[in-house]
Structure formats: structure tokens, C-alpha cells
Amino acid sequence: MKRKRIVLKEGRDKSVLRRHPWIFSGAVKKVEGSPDLGETVDIVSVKGEFLARAAFSPQSQICARAWTFEQQEIDKAFFSRRLKAAKKFRQQLGFLQENSACRLVASEADLLPGVIVDRYADCLVVQFLSAGAEYWKEQICGCLREHFDCTTVYERSDVDIRSKEGLEKRTGLLSGEEPPELIEIIENKLRYLVDVRAGHKTGFYLDQRVNRKLLRSVVKGKTVLNCFSYTGGFGVAAGAAGADMVTNVDASVEALKTAGRNMELNGIRQSAYENIEADVFKLLRKYRDMARRFDVIVLDPPKFIDSKGQLKRASRGYKDIAMLGFKLLNPGGVLLNFSCSGLMPVDLFQKITADAALDAGVNGKITARLGQSPDHPTLLSFPESFYLKGFMVKV
């Protein structure tokens, strides 16, 4: 049977030859064989030379995402091999301990474009973000049940990016038992409660694992302001490490309720923390006007950038909160400044942080460059998989 194909324009195969998995619509000369949404197609040069085997997504600007650059079949056995490799990588990291949590599959970074799998104890939470991932969902879920000990596979494909792929949002149980309201996990010997059904992302910011651990080294006896705290990830880490006072700030009262339960779960006394429901930007200005100061401040805002056209406006937002953060630091204080926006270049984010310090009238030194946890790997041929960047700055 003749394979369905995408033929690239002359000179538009360079990125594929470098094993970048995205094929943009502008590089396509023609599509042969009328493939269905998510169906596997061969990517070939204008001369007909094989380049990759990919999932077809005609409604997206990224019209195909490569599964492989070798002439191998895309079937259940293929996904089984990919998932076994992803599991082995996390085992080598030591991240698959009982009741732990980690990212098991990180989409393109694990050579499975559009597939996200997060583990929370014995519950797997999955996202199918691309047409190809959706097309093979049943086979992928079957492989997950075979290779991972789990009582639940729960779907959280409730993200806007699916609409660009011609897909509707979906959530719900795929197999096993319905997950409880909150699942308890252990991270760096600390306990957290996670809402996998309605929480941010798949329930928890797993990518900040190593940075939460690092924070613990600088907070003993200190006052800590944890901005955009969500369910208190950084706040719990600080309180458990002996911070004198932790202030968690978030706009969600439900997230703060869970943050309070997480603090109590780890034996942090009530007099050592406060949870404040507020707009972070407004509260930082209020604290500035009150001349309130802190020893350590964490700025971990949500993603500000969805397109390159938003970069300038987002840069102003990042600078604004960083400047306020620097103004609220005591002499010798520490600021952890993050951006989870993949479109924010790390050199630009360093410049924004430097400009914020200058406008705040402080001198700062970078004592650590921060990134995502290693279970969220960066594939060298796919630099877009590096998205979380940050700086620990001492003034």
C-alpha cells in the first residue's frame, strides 16, 4: 500500500534533517493521499527522499509532528518502546519511589509529541495535546497500564492548544478507579495534597521540584514571601526548612485552602505562616507603600506569553513584579525570579531581572541559574523543550 506523504518545498528540509520534530505548513509543497487528522504520514524531500514519519495535523500551523526519523512502523509496539525508555530515564533519576510524583512523559522531549504523563502516587494523569497523540490515545493508555503500576489513568486534556489541532477539550477517567478529591504525594521528604481533577496543569507544578529543594538552603530563620503560591509548594519547602514566617499569596481561595492543609500536613505551626488571597501585583505595591520587607521572595507567575507578539508586553509585566520584589527585600535578601514562558529567551529574562534591580536601586548578584526539574528534560534537537528559567539573586 502506498504511504500517505507530505512533500516539503525545496530547501525546507534543514530543520527535519537536524531532527527537529515540527513541520510547519509554510514548508509544505503538497500533501499526498488525503490523510485523516492525526494519521501517520511520511515526510519526504522534494526529491522524494525519506526524512521522518509524523502525525498529520492540517488545522495547525504545525501541520505535522515527527514520531521518528527512521523508517519504523508507528503502532502499539512503537509506543511501548518509547514509554519504556521514558520510565527507565525516571528510574535512573530516582524519581519513581513509592508515593512520589514526577513527569513520566514530557512530550517532544521524550520523543512523543503531544503526550504528557504525570505520576501522582498510583494515579497517572495524561494530556493528549496534538492530533497524533489523540489518534493513538487508546494504544498509549494500554501501554501505560502495562508498564506502570497504577490504579487510575485520568485525562486532563483541557488546554486551549487542542483547539489549534482541531480537537475539543476533554477530561475524565480513562481507566481504573476515580481519583480521590486530593492525592497525597511525597517530594523531597515533604508531603503535598494534589487535586488532579481540577488543579492547575495536571494538579501540581512538578517542574519546580529542584528549585523548591534549593530554596530550603536559604530560608532558615528568615521571612519569606511566596507570590503566586498556588497550593504552597515553595511555602511548604520554606516552612519545613525553618523559615521564621512564610506569607503565601494567591488569587485563588481554594488553592490557599489546600496550601494551609499542606502546611499543617508537614507540621508547620500556624503562627509561622499566613495565606493571603490577593492580586499579587496590587499587594506588592501595597507592601511597598507600607515599607514592609522580607528576607526571601519567590516570584513564580503564570505564563505571560502565548505568542511572540506578546513578548514586549510580557517583558514589562515581568520587570514590574521583579522591581517591586527587589524593593521589598531586606539588605542581603534573596529573590527567586522565574518565567515559565517558553517564548521568553533566557538572556532577555536576565536583562529584565537586571533592569528591575537597577530601577529598584539595588545591586544584585546571581547565585544560581534555575531551570526545570530533570524529569522535564530538554531535548538538544528541540530547544523549545527548555521553558522554565529563573535566577536566584542576592542583593
Name the amino acid, one letter, at 328: L
Q: Which residues contact 179 (CB under 8 A, 6 or more apart)?
A: 123, 152, 154, 173, 196, 197
Decide if 340 is catalytic.
Answer: yes
Options 102, 123, 227, 340, the catalytic residue: 340
Angle at 375 between CA 186 and CA 53, to 5 degrees: 140
Place of cell 512503537: 78
DSSP 21: -
DSSP conformation letters of 270-292:
GGGEEEEES-HHHHHHHHHHHT-
Cβ–Cβ under 8 Å, residues 268 and 259: no
Angle at 339 between CA 324 and CA 384, to 5 degrees: 160
Cβ–Cβ under 8 Å, residues 386 and 345: no
> Annotated catalytic sites, by residue?
340
